[in-house]
Each structure stands twice: as structure tokens, then as C-alpha cells.
Amino acid sequence: MTNSQNDQQKPRPLNATMNSVESARPVVRRLLIANRGEIARRIIRTCRILDIETVAVYSDIDADAPHVHEATCAEPIGGPMAYLSVEAIVAAAKRTGADSVHPGYGFLSENPALAEALEAAGIVFIGPNAETIRALGSKTNAKIIAANANVPVAPTLLLSGDSPDEHLNKLCDFTSQVGFPVIIKAAAGGGGRGMRVINDLDSAKEALESAARESLKAFGSAEVFIERFIAPARHIEVQIAGDHYGTVVALGTRDCSLQRNNQKIVEEAPALNLKDGVSDELCQAACRLAKEVGYSNLGTVEFLYSDDGLFYFLEVNTRLQVEHPVTELVTGLDLVMLQIEIARGADLRDILKDNLSLDGSLIPSGHAIEARLCAEEYTGKFVTGTGVILDLYVPRGLRESGLIRADLGYEVCSQVSHYYDSLLGKIIVHAPNRDQAIQLLRKGLSEARVSGVGTNRSLLLHLISLDAFRKLLHTVQGTLGLLPSVAQLHDDWIHSHVILAAARLLDQRSEWAKSSPWSDREKVAATNITYPLTTLIHGVTISSESRIEDDGVSVRVMAPYEHEAFVRISALELAAVGLSRYSISLNRSSPKQVSILVDGATTWVHTDSGSLGLRTINARPNRKTDFALSGELVITSPIPGKVVAVNFTVGDSVQEGDLLIVLDSMKMEHPFKAPRSGVLSSINAIKGALVNAGAELARISSAQ
Amino acid sequence: MSLTSNFLGSQIPLSDSPYPDNRISFEEHLARLDKVRCSAKPAPSDPAAIKHLERGKLLVHDRIAHLIDPGTSFLEVGQLAGYEVYSEGLRPGAGIVTGIGVVEGHPCMIVANDATVKGGTYFPLTVKKHIRAQQIAFENRLPCIYLVDSGGAFLPLQDQVFPDRDHFGRLFFNQAQMSAAGIPQVAVVLGSCTAGGAYVPAMCDEAIIVRNQGMVFLGGPPLVKAATGEIVTAEELGGGDVHCRISGVTDYLAESDQEALATARRCISSLNNTSITRAPREVSRPPRFDSREINSLIPADPKQHFPMREIIARLVDDSALDEFKANYGTSIICGFARIDGYLVGIVANDGILFSESALKAAHFIQLCDQRNVPLVFLQNIVGFMVGKDYEHKGIAKDGAKMVTAVACARVPKYTVIVGNSYGAGNYAMCGRAYEPRFIWSWPQSRIGVMGPDQAASVVTQVRSESAKSRGEDWGEEQQTRYYQEIHQQYTTQTDALYGSARLWDDGVICPTETRNALSLALSIAPFEPGAQRRSFGTFRM
């Protein structure tokens, strides 16, 4: 910031500035949020402070979502994918009289068409202008801009407009200069799709073709480019802000190296353990790049940092990032407020004058870490969870005392749909130093719980507890090597099974049984009965026998998971409806608290190391789901009739409840829905054909 | 119960003679009981059990563990039935396990065939035990769950299992009567269920069957072939699929024992019988003295007296007894106490029965009946006093008053034979014939018309006089041998295990198990304070 000198000489109060020029500047009084989930709620929160009315938009399945209830008013926009429709958003803004639109992240946030359409309609877009979005949206173009701004860029080979044979020849030349490995990327891409790492020329042709195919399918453009593969590398990014007057500031660095398949899991600010001066160099480079395009509003410049101290430009995100809270916590800024003020035409020098040091840089205070809590469970592979949230808890004490911040998109009874991103919310901590922040995050995550859908809580706890993470040794490419082994996962599952086996002995099913001597532990110990339990966890069946002893419960897990445990357990209280808390000591270790929520055949066990939904098979059978989980499921028609609709073809993946086939019989339509998820292995029903009672219509085999 | 005045102290120096010897003697009884109990379950090497498991079936005790609510007790009834009774060498239990367990929060009677014992066929004592379980269910309004895996009547003994009132037909009569009285009847067909046995599921309100395991038919494939020449497999004739899809004999088809038992739990979970009120329970307090000390209190010689207050002090809550007429008719102890939180009236022998003791007990039984307080009888009785003075004073009519009171009292009655149970004392103290809800014996206890010494003397004397009148030469030696024979017979037949094997009681229990058994039994009795009291029979005044 070169103009900071002026500010020192002539301080101007922010409010006075605003008032004096209000008429000339865009007004943001009624803001439509073109998003959902936690970010919509996050934006509403700031709008409340600024006394801005908010308009929530919602798809059919989000009609009861929390962001809908929290906004000043809400507007339906159509089907599940309507958040991606520029027309629907602009129409909603017009209908509701919104004077501005905040796009959040994802969906239309980096689509220049929205910015353009809004401009045409005279509505303020909270973000950079369409031109900037478009210029930086192409990865190849962004690289050229970066190079022009003297920002380090990894050696790159652009392949636009050439024939495939020429591609290969160019690749040969390129690799003879920079060596292997190299990476192919989609020019229009993001999120890892279309990416291929090439280690030698033999695999290059095939990789080039498949990357182009995938890119075409995902982004509508087959254009790919090749760059030197920087690995191992850390993902370091710089939060930048620019205003309409050419001022650009860097609001500090973030380290987002903990990723899986190029999806960030844990982010922190500031980025630590960089070579001396690199932090400043990164910030300066980011600002140069932003100035090059006249960037206004907030954005993020992403870099790969290799341990030799060099860094390479990756891309620019022209929007608010998921991980913006870590920057907020270490800078004390409200980034959404900053976005709105910039859009209103505020001068960054005024807004930030209290936050910047004399040389225009920003000194972060302490350390902040964010963990993304996702409806995604790691079971050896990543399994996305859907369903209704039965219970959602982030430690109240820590939240109320301000030690942790929880930005959640869902509440109890919210529906988690497979239509949207699996992010349930974020748990963010701020502490004087990184070790303390990790400690606090562990505490927050170990006491948090979500019942109803599987989450990555266990995985997050596993990763942030690793020595490699504590010592900042993890890299973007190395995260996969840090995932828990199958044996570790099984240990966790057996652990949860053992807790459930012990806890269910305390849980009586009627008021009479609770107060009668039948459940007296000392009497039950004398009767010497072993109670069986079989649970199903991600396709793994675990059986055990438990016995009440004088001072606890002994649980014997059967082969192949042979394991014996002695559990001391006492019921603490009913924490919420259907949720019981227990104090548990395993094999005479110090007692810990666990919570258990029973939801029909599924029981959610929450420990300090994770949450698990166990299907108790022997307690409540449900043949459709429990006993037909493996093998083929045959769907037959109970009545004769005519096939009027066949909605899938052989090989399609179907979700439980998907409408497969419709039969017309006795003047009634008879729908056949998938009794469970899987792959359609055969379909005998043909549209228009007549079928007899008992005829086979389709088969579903287990999804792999 | 917090007053100290009703607290039963203990004056026994347990470390002094003869108490340590008593304990050694008593522990021999306990060890014997334990051994017999252990033999009720099949050994791992038992061929029948191995075959059973190979078929994918659960053993009967595991079936019960799958059925009942985790973390709840199981009160077994008639565990020793058939022990050393039949030449076929049945394991204790007579091929059937019966008892009370909690299913989905409801106390239920579980009647489970053990197919590893003679194919689960019904011996006379199997029938008796099954009917006894149904009677307990009827009296306590317990839903019945039948785990059927039986080949039906044991044909070689058909004359002892088929024709009479309390034989096989009674099973189905009871099912119909209970269902009519609103007591649910649920069957789980886990194995064969042939001929008469086919009526167990057919007579039930709901029936579950396991595919390829459960079979229900009036006549099996061999009988069908013999009768009509038709050749048919068992599964085609009466398998699960047939009965759930074609005949409608059973209602739910399960793929395994586990699933069938889980389905039975679901059936019970739909019961809406919250209208049954059961006895209120206060906070339970343990006795102030350890019940294990009873082992030392019981003399090795059954003829020796032991102080009943010392026993009561080790059975009731806080060792507290509100004694009624403490100074009158002192050979019987009456009073209010709590057992594991449940209020009871205790009637316990502390010597032979005299007129005053009988009158006091009759009064107290009427009192409990009026107040709706269940009665607990602790039997240690050799009989009523005999002799000219006592007969003249009308001890027979006073004894009759007590017997009338016991017979007509409507409150639930529970009996524990803690010592001797001889003669009319057994009647007055609520023996089996007086329909106590449960009756248990301690392992050293003795039951009979009279004790071995007395019986041997009386019978020898009668035989000797008869010989004399016929002019036979019946010498000292013959007399002694005869005495010993009679003594041996009575010693064998008055043994607690001998009686329990014949289902004269509901089981032999240790002193330390007594509070638990009584508590579980008291907890399931329906509590009907508003119900009309039955009038008592004529008291001969």
C-alpha cells in the first residue's frame, strides 16, 4: 500500500466518508444470497450487523433449510439444481426487489454470466466484475497474467489448437527441458477433474486423450495444458482485497495442504514454516497479480510451495473461500462485511487503517485452524452420507466462551441430500499459537457429534492428531499416505461395537423394566447370561457376546475380530431426546464420556475419536436392508400389468427409493422403487410390454 | 423401616463351633446342586448338540439370550425336572427350558424345547413342566412365547403323557384359555413341530417359522407315505414357505433362528398391555447381615433346630421386620418386611406348630389378604404338636383355621422350604397344593409326610405289630434291616433334589439366591388392590 502515508496525515472516520458520498455509491439494502448451507447463514449474520435485509433463495428440497428461516425473506427458485441457474437467480432478485446479490462460493460464484446479467439488471454483484472473473477463470489465461505480473509460474506447455500428434511432440520437447513428472490439467477445470500425472512418455498419449475427454465431459472444453508437476508441495494461498480505486492489500496467508483428491480438509492461517521472507514475497506476488487485472473485491491467489523455498502460481479464486474464517480470526476482520463495503464503493485505506501496520502489511494475531465437517465417511474409501440429521452438537461451552467458532449449514432435522456438496459445516478455532489451536480443535471435534448421517469427524481427528500434521510435514500429495489403515478402521469399529454391546445392557425398554429388579445389575450378573449382539458397519459384520460382571461388562468379540474387553459403564443422563450419555472405562483405563443415539435399526455411537452408525442386526431385523445387503436383489411384479415407464438402464447406479419402473394395472399406476442402493444388473421390463404376476422386472446388485 | 426397634439383631458367634462345621456341610449341598445344574446344559462334545449347531440352529439357552432384553435377568422354572427320574438318562430339565424373561420391556413366560434332549420329545415331566409354566403365566398374566423344536410326545410313555387331564391336551386348552383371557400367545417354530405339537403354533395368536428349519405337520413324510402312498419332502409338506404362503398356519417367515427371535420380539413390542399394574417397589436396601452366613447357620443334622429370626435377618431389607404378636404363639413368626423393596407379610416357623401359633398365623394371613400384601412362607416345620392335651384343646381345628386361611387368601403367596417340610405343617405353611405363585427349596431341605427317623420307627412298629398278630417270627435283625430300608427310602425321597426333579417345587435355590428369586417373582405379580376379596371358608371355632 503506497498511500498509507496520506492516511496517517488526514484520518477520515469511516462513517463520515460513507455519509458524504452515499448518493453516488451503490446501495446495498436488500441483499439476495444466491447460495445455501453454511455460507448463506454466514452472510446473513453479517447482514444483520449491517442492518441489511436478506433474501434467501431455496430449491424445492431446501424449503425447510436453516438459511431459509434466518433470512428476512425467502424465495423459491425451482428444482435442486436451480442454484446454478443465472436466470432463476436474476429473476428471484427482481421479484424480491433485491438491490444486490452475494454469490457465496461454488454454484454461480465464479460464473461471469451472473455478474453480467446482474449488471444489466442494475443489481450490485458482490464480487469482482465479470471481466476479471472471466480473465482469471481460464487457468491458461490466468497463468499468462501471472507471468506478466512477474509472479513465478511453473514451466508450462499450452496446447490450444494443435492436433493430438503435435501435442505429443510438444510434450517430448517440453519434458526434455523440464523433466518428469509433469501434470496435465484442464484449462477450464478445477477440483482435480481432468488431471493426470505423467511419469514417462509411454503413458503420455493415453493420459492426454483421457484428460481431454474428461475435461470435455466435465467443463465443456477439451483444452488441456501441461506443467511441471511440483511435488511434494504445500498449498499456500493469499487472501487479497482490492477496491474500486486501485488499492490492493494482502490479508495474509493460509496453509491448505491437508487435502484429499484436491479437496481441502483442514485449513489454517497464517501459513507457517515457510523460508524466511517467503510469506512477504507471496503476499507481494498476489498483490502484483491482482493489480495487473485491476482486481476489486475479495479473492484468493493460490500457490504451490515446494520445500526448496520456491513457489509457483496455481490459480486465482475470484470469490470468498470456504476457509475465509481462519483469516477472519487472525485479522479480526469480517470478510463478508469487507466485501459489501467494497461493493458499496468504500476505500480500503479507510476501512483497514486500524488493521494495517505502517508498511501496509498485516500482522496476524495468533493462529487459526478450520476443519471441514463433511457428510462423508472414510471407510477405506470415501462414502458420501445422505439422510436426516438427528442430532448435531458442537460443544456449547467452547462455543459460548468464543474459543471455537462453528459455521454450520444444517440443524437437527435438516435433510442432507446427495444433490449438494457434502460440507455440513466448519469448526474453526483461534489460539495464541498453532499447538494450542490444534489442541483446541481436537477438543472441539472430540466432543462434537452428528447423528443421522456419516461424517468425517473420525478422519479429521485422526489427521490433526498425527505427528506429521503437528510438525507441518504434510503435503498436498502426501495426505493419502496419512489416511488410517483398514486395520485401524476395524479397530475403531470394534471399539464402537464394544461400547454399544455394553451400553445396551443398561438401556431398558419400559418404565416397568427400568424400576423392576429384572435390570438390577447384581441379579443379572448372578444369572450368568451372555447377550449376543451382531452389528453391521459398512458391510462388516461384527458379533459379540457380553456378560454383566460384578463391576462391569465383559465383551467378547467373535472371530474374525477376536477381541476381549472389560467395560465399566454407568449411565449419566439423557442429553436430548433419544440420546443417552455414558461414562465408559475400557480395560480399566480412565473413564471417558460417550453418547449413543438409537434410531430404529441404526445406533449412533459417539466417542472422543469419532462417530459411527452401527446397524444392529439381531435386535431389529429389517430384511430388505439388513439381509439383502449383499448379493442380487430381484424385483418381481406381484400383479399382472403393462409396463408404462422404465427409468434406468442396465449398469446404472441407483439410490434407495429411486423410481425404477412403473406398471399400469387395474387402472392404477404401480411404482417400483429401488429397495436399496446398488447397480442395476438386469432389467426385464420393456416399456409397453405386458407382464404376468410374479414376473421378474429387474435385479439390483451391490454397488462396488 | 428406619426405626431401629424393628431391626433384627444377630446373636450368633459365627466363628465358634458348630458354625464352621455347619458351613462345610452346607457347602457340600451347594456343590452338589451346582454340579447337577451344570449338567443341564449339553457338553460341547455332545453329539446331539454338535448336530444341532451344524444345522445352523442355536442352542436353547442361546435362543433365550437372543430373545430377552439385553441386561435383564432370566428366572428359570423347573431347572432340575427329570433329574435321575427316567432310565433314558435325560439331562436335568426334561428336554424343555421354561422361565420368565423380559422381552421388549414386558415380562414374558418363555417355554423352549431343547431338541438336543431326545429330540425335544415330551416325557411325563416335560408335559408337567410345560403346564406348570403356563400356570405361572396365567396367574401372573405373562405373555407366553413358545420356542418350538420338538418331536411331540415321547411315544413309549404315551400312557403317561397323553390321556389324562394334565397331559398333552392341556397345553392347548391352556393356550386357548389364556388367549381368551387376553394373555398373548406367540410361537416361534425353530424345528419340528409334529402331530399334537403342530397345535402349539396353530393355537397361538402369532406364529413365526424359520425357512428350512421349522416344520409343522399333523403327520410327517413317513406317516403320509404309509397312510396314502404320497411321497413328499418335509419342507414341501410343512416348511416355512408352505405355511407362510399357502396354508397360513404361520404368519412370519424368517431366514434364521436369530431373525425369528427378533421377529418374536417385534410381536411382543406391539403389546399394549400397560393396563397391568404391578406391585409398587420402594428403594431396596440390602440386609444388614450377609446372606452367605446362612450357610453356617443351618445345622448339618436336619433334626436340629435353627433360629429363624437369624435367617430372616439375612433375607429382608435392612434386616427389619415389623413383627405381629411377637409374644404370642412364639413358635411362628409373623410380620411385615420388605424384600428388595417389595412389601410382604412373612410367615415363618420357629418351632413346632401349637394352637396359638396356628391362630396367630391365620389372623396374620387374613390381615395381609385384607391389605393386599403378598405372603412369603418360610417353611421349617416337622408338624403340629401331638398328644392328649393338645388334641383335647382342639389343635386339629386350630390347624384347620390356618389351612383355611392359607387356602383362601387371594394375595400372591410365595413359599421357600428352608428346612423341613413335613406332614400337615406343609399344608398350613402353603405347600405346593396351596398354589403358591412360586415355591422353592433350599438344597439341604427335606419334604415328606414325615422325616426318615419318624417314618422308619412308625412303619417298623406297624409291621412288627402286624407280624406279631399273625404269629410270624420277626426277629431283631429283620426289624433292624426293615427299619434301615424304610429309613433309606425316606432319606432318598425327602431329598430336595428328588422333589425338584419331580416338579414338587419350581426349583432348588441357594440361600444367597433367595432374595433375588423372591424379588423377581414379586415384581411380576399383577397388583390388584381394588379387586374383590374372596371370602374365607368356615373357620371351625
What per-residue confidence (pLDDT) applies to B418? 98
The fraction of chain A above a pLDDT of 90, given in percent, is: 58
Is residue A560 predicted with pLDDT exceeding 70? yes
Question: What DSSP string describes A197-226?
Answer: EE-SGGGHHHHHHHHHHHHHHHHS---EEE
**In A461-591, at which residue ranges do the beta strands (DSSP E only) sit?**
530-537, 540-549, 552-557, 563-576, 579-586
Whether chain A has a CB inside 8 Å of the CB on B74: the answer is yes
Mutation target vs A (from B61, B69, B253; most A CBs, 10 A cutoff): B69
Is residue A14 predicted with pLDDT exceeding 80? no
CA end-to-end distance (rounded Å), chain B: 36
Q: What is the mean pLDDT of residues A657-683?
A: 85
* Cα A71 to Cα A53, A61, A109, distances in angstroms: 8, 17, 19
What residues in B contact A509, CB-CB < 8 Å? 69, 102, 104-105, 269
Is residue A630 predicted with pLDDT exceeding 70? no
Q: Name the nearest CA neighbour of A385 among A471, A448, A457, A444.
A: A457
Mutation target vs B (from A512, A555, A624; most B CBs, 10 A cutoff): A512
Whether chain B has a CB inside 8 Å of the CB on A530: the answer is yes
How far does the CA of residue B107 sit from the closest CA of chain A (Å)?
8
How far does the CA of residue A539 sit from the closest CA of chain B (Å)?
18
What per-residue confidence (pLDDT) applies to B72? 95
Which amino acid, residue A465? S
What per-residue confidence (pLDDT) applies to A18? 42
Q: CB–CB of A370/A266 below 8 Å?
A: yes
Cell numbers representing residue A359 in the block: 508498511
Strand-pairing partners, residue B278, are: B526
> What tens digit of pLDDT does each residue of A264-301 get?
999 999 999 999 999 999 999 999 999 999 999 999 99
Which amino acid, residue A182? V
Is residue A10 predicted with pLDDT exceeding 60? no
* Cα B474 to Cα B452, B467, B484, distances in angstroms: 22, 7, 15
Q: Which of A453-457, A527-531, B527-531 is modeled with the greatest confidence? A: A453-457
Cell numbers representing residue A608 in the block: 472422543
Whether chain B has a CB inside 8 Å of the CB on A526: the answer is yes
Whether chain A has a CB inside 8 Å of the CB on B398: the answer is no
Lowest mean pLDDT among A417-426, A504-513, A613-622, B7-16: A613-622
Interior CA angle at A325 toward A354 and A374, to 5°?
180
- The ranges of chain B with pLDDT < 50 are 1-4
Residue A703: band (very low, low, confident or very high) from pLDDT cuts 50, 70, 90: low
Omega before B299 cis (within 30°)? Answer: no
Q: CB–CB of B402/B354 below 8 Å?
A: no
Q: Which of A384-388, A526-530, B130-134 is modeled with the greatest confidence? A: B130-134
Q: Nearest by CB to A505, which of B70, B102, B519?
A: B70
Beta strand A391-393 pairing with A263-269: unpaired
Rounded Cα distance between B249 and B264, Å, is 16
Is residue A192 predicted with pLDDT exceeding 80? no
What per-residue confidence (pLDDT) applies to A678? 86
**Secondary structure element (H or E) that encloses residue A593, with its range:** strand A592-599
Strand-pairing partners, residue B378, are: B348, B416
Number of Cβ within 10 Å of residue B138's Cβ equals 16
Whether chain B has a CB inside 8 Å of the CB on A603: the answer is no
Whether chain A has a CB inside 8 Å of the CB on B73: the answer is yes
Rounded Cα distance between B389 and B395, Å, is 9
Cell numbers representing residue A656 in the block: 434407495
> What tens digit of pLDDT does each residue of A27-69 get?
899 999 999 999 999 999 999 999 999 999 999 999 999 999 9
The C-alpha cell 477440483 sits at: A191
What per-residue confidence (pLDDT) applies to A575? 54
According to DSSP, residue B200 is labeled H
Number of Cβ within 10 Å of residue B257's Cβ equals 26
Residue A166: band (very low, low, confident or very high) from pLDDT cuts 50, 70, 90: confident
Whether chain B has a CB inside 8 Å of the CB on A471: the answer is no
What per-residue confidence (pLDDT) applies to A39? 97
Flag if B105 and A512 touch (Cβ within 8 Å): yes
What per-residue confidence (pLDDT) applies to A139? 87
A570: helix, coil or strand? strand
Mean pLDDT estimate for chain A: 88
Q: Name the nearest CA neighbour of A265 among A277, A273, A257, A276.
A: A257
Mutation target vs A (from B62, B72, B514; most A CBs, 10 A cutoff): B72
Cell numbers representing residue B459 in the block: 412303619
Whether chain B has a CB inside 8 Å of the CB on A498: the answer is no
Flag if B520 and A518 touch (Cβ within 8 Å): yes
Q: Name the nearest CA neighbour of B417 among B509, B353, B345, B335.
A: B509
B334 by Cβ neighbours in 10 Å (0-12 / 13-18 / 19+) ranks as buried
Q: Between helices A335-343 and A324-331, what is the axis angle to 10°?
A: 90
What per-residue confidence (pLDDT) applies to A201? 84
* Residues 6 or more apart whose Cβ sits within 8 Å of residue B38: none
Rounded Cα distance between A445 and A179, Å, is 43
Among chain B residues, CA nearest to A515: B281
Q: Name the nearest CA neighbour of A617 among A626, A606, A609, A630.
A: A626
Q: CB–CB of A517/A523 below 8 Å?
A: yes
What per-residue confidence (pLDDT) applies to A13? 39
